[in-house]
Amino acid sequence: MTATNHVQATGQMASRRGVLERIGNRVGVHNISLIAALIILCVIFGSLRGDVFFSSRNILNIGLAVTILGVLAMSQTVVIVAGGLDVAVGSTVGLSTVATAMAVQVTGSAAVGVIAGFAVGAACGVVNGIIITYGRVNAVIATLGTMAIFRGVAFILSDGQSISIFDEQFRFMGNGTMLGLPVPLWILAVTAVAFQIFLSQSIAGRNVYAIGGNPVVARFSGINVNRYKVAIYTMSGFIGGLGGILLAARTGSGQPISGSQGLELEAITAAVLGGCALQGGRGTIVGALLGVLIIGVLNNGMILTAVPTFYQLLAKGALLILAVLVAEYRLNRT
């Protein structure tokens, strides 16, 4: 009887381990650790300001606050998976807001403003892609340079001033609601689904992983690496244009720097926190979104608990370093 019970208990334990392993393989061990970290942050800030932190209004505020960061983090994930880096994305957003605001102001058309924002963002991406791919300039150095250039162009075009947007149809994209949820959250959701399908289901997505894993092997496999790299940076600029459009619609203005400065740091932090290896070849959209949520909750919690701004910057920088250290540790173990 005892032997039978022991066999049954052993079988149940093995079954539980099997279930846990399947869950871990399905969700990903790294993603599970991110979910745990997110829960811990919620518990900490909830215990400090539970009356406000867990309110539906504050949860909605967190969602709105991470919308722009979310779309940028997903595009940054694709860039990093391919073995690159786009440090100029914040400046791309700033320049796109200015171009969008100027187009709406001149034409009075929301559609023209949206087209201008996407076009300018994509143009910035093309410039980055050509310099990096055909100029053979290191991605960090190239995008640091274009970051300053794009920001300078934004200041020149706007004369250093904010450009107001009064078109209500355009501002609906930043402040309107659909089916009870803000429009920016719908845009984030649609973008996330598109990126997830692209990276996990498409041949192009698999080629992106191959390029980041080993560009030489990818080239010998028949993949046009140069074309892919230019396309990836163009995509990053295009999504930067989307971020600029959303920022302009939400604030009702084109801003050459305010609102877009520091986005590049947060987007890279979210992507690396989500499991991207800076060497390329590794990273997921789900991980990036979890990284975005962690940053969003951290920012919101620090504001609610009245943490000074410079301490918030310190926390973000420390989070990026921690994310890189964890990524390097995981890489060395594999």
Domain harbouring 267, CATH code: 1.10.3470
Band the pLDDT of 1: cuts 50, 70, 90.
Answer: very low
**pTM value > 0.85:** yes
| Lookup result for tokens 């244009």 | 241
Confidence of residue 248 (pLDDT cuts 50, 70, 90): very high
HSE on the CB side for 184, CA within 13 Å? 26
Distance (Å, whole) CA 289 – CA 295:
10
Residue 239 lies in a domain: yes
Higher-confidence position of 211 and 317: 211
**pLDDT of 62 strictly over 50:** yes
Q: What gap in Å lies between CA 242 and CA 265, rounded to an integer?
A: 18
Residue 152 domain-assigned?
Answer: yes
Q: Please determine, for residue 6, whether its predicted confidence score (pLDDT) is greater than 90.
A: no
102 belongs to a structural domain: yes
Percent of all residues in the chain with a pLDDT value above 70, rounded to a whole number: 89
62 part of a folded domain: yes
Alpha-carbon distance 242 to 115, whole Å?
10
Contact by Cβ (8 Å): 55, 49: no
Start-to-end Cα distance in the chain = 44
Query: Which pLDDT band holds residue 49 (cuts at 50, 70, 90)?
Result: confident
Whether residue 141 is contained in a domain is answered as yes
Provide the 8-state DSSP code for 334: -
> What pLDDT sits at residue 17?
54
Quick one: pLDDT band at residue 29, thresholds 50, 70, 90? confident
The stretch 166-173 carries a mean pLDDT of 89
Say which residue, 316 or 174, is predicted with more confidence.
174
In a domain, 176, yes or no: yes
pLDDT at 11: 52
pLDDT, position 138 = 94
What residues contact 258, with CB distance under 8 A and at least 6 apart?
A: 162
Which helix or strand (DSSP H or E) is residue 290 part of?
Answer: helix 285-304
Tokens matching residue 45: 């800030």
Q: What does the pLDDT look like over 69-81, one tens digit per residue?
A: 999 999 999 999 9
Q: Write down the pLDDT at residue 208.
A: 95
Q: Report the pLDDT value the prediction gives residue 13, as an integer from 0 to 100.
A: 52
The residue segments making up the domain with residue 214 are 49-333
Taking residues 167-191, report their average pLDDT. Answer: 91
Please indicate, yes or no, if residue 35 is contained in any of the structural domains.
no
In a domain, 10, yes or no: no
Average pLDDT of the residues in 127-140? 95
pLDDT at 210 over 70: yes
Helix (H) or strand (E) holding 182: strand 181-182
**pLDDT band per the 50, 70, 90 thresholds, residue 145:** very high
How far apart, in whole angstroms, are the C-alpha atoms of residue 268 and residue 320?
A: 8
Check: CB of residue 104 under 8 Å from CB of residue 113.
Answer: yes
Quote the pLDDT of residue 16: 54
Number of H helices, E strands in the chain: 15, 4
Number of structural domains the chain divides into: 1
Q: Does residue 281 have a pLDDT over 90?
A: no
Q: What is the mean predicted confidence (pLDDT) over 208-237?
A: 94
pLDDT at 166: 87
What's the average model confidence in pLDDT over 25-53?
Answer: 82
Report the range of poorest mean pLDDT among 1-10, 91-100, 164-173: 1-10
Residue 5's pLDDT is 54
